[in-house]
Amino acid sequence: MKCPFCGNIEDKVVDSRIASEGDSIRRRRECLKCQRRFTTYEYIEKSTLMIIKKDGRREPFDRNKILSGLLRACEKRPVSMEKIEEVVDSIERALQRTYDKEVISSDIGEFVMKHLHEMDEVAYVRFASVYRQFKDINQFLGELKDLLNKRRD
């Protein structure tokens, strides 16, 4: 590892520990030339998950798109940013575990719907209205009735 202070490539690891829910390793290093310490992180290299869009196009997975959709759905709702980020992390982990190289965009939408349904019903309906592309009020009412029936059960 190249020292960020003097550029020397020889160092020793002083301390190693697991970081961020076991997804990375934090290492404290000491340069053998200037004796200054610095921190590095090691991450598992994940293969890029490709998303198959409705029109057949393929594009790389972008967690920011999920985050953006959740933020719009949860706008002016009592849902913390921390909870939204937890949901995005959970969806990303589920996709990495479930799919090898490609995933259909509708599967991602269903993951989001499931989490929103558990998190905030208003945000769920907002997201569903865009995601399911309701054509008229009857489709919207149908979704609300399903939500009410599930709530009663």
Q: Which two tokens stand for residue 84?
A: 């939204």
State residue 35's pLDDT score: 97
Q: Cα separations (Å) of 25 from 19, 21, 39, 41?
A: 5, 10, 10, 6
Q: Cα separations (Å) of 98 from 87, 90, 94, 106?
A: 16, 12, 6, 14
pTM above 0.75, yes or no: no
Return d(Cα 9, Cα 31) in angstroms, integer. Answer: 8
10-residue stretch averages of pLDDT, the chain, 153 residues long: 95 90 88 96 81 94 94 95 92 90 93 92 86 73 76 72
Burial class of residue 105, CB neighbours in 10 A (0-12, 13-18, 19+) = middle
Return d(Cα 103, Cα 15) in angstroms, integer. Answer: 39
State residue 108's pLDDT score: 94
State residue 22's pLDDT score: 78
Residue 147 dihedral angles phi and psi, to the nearest 5°: -65, -45
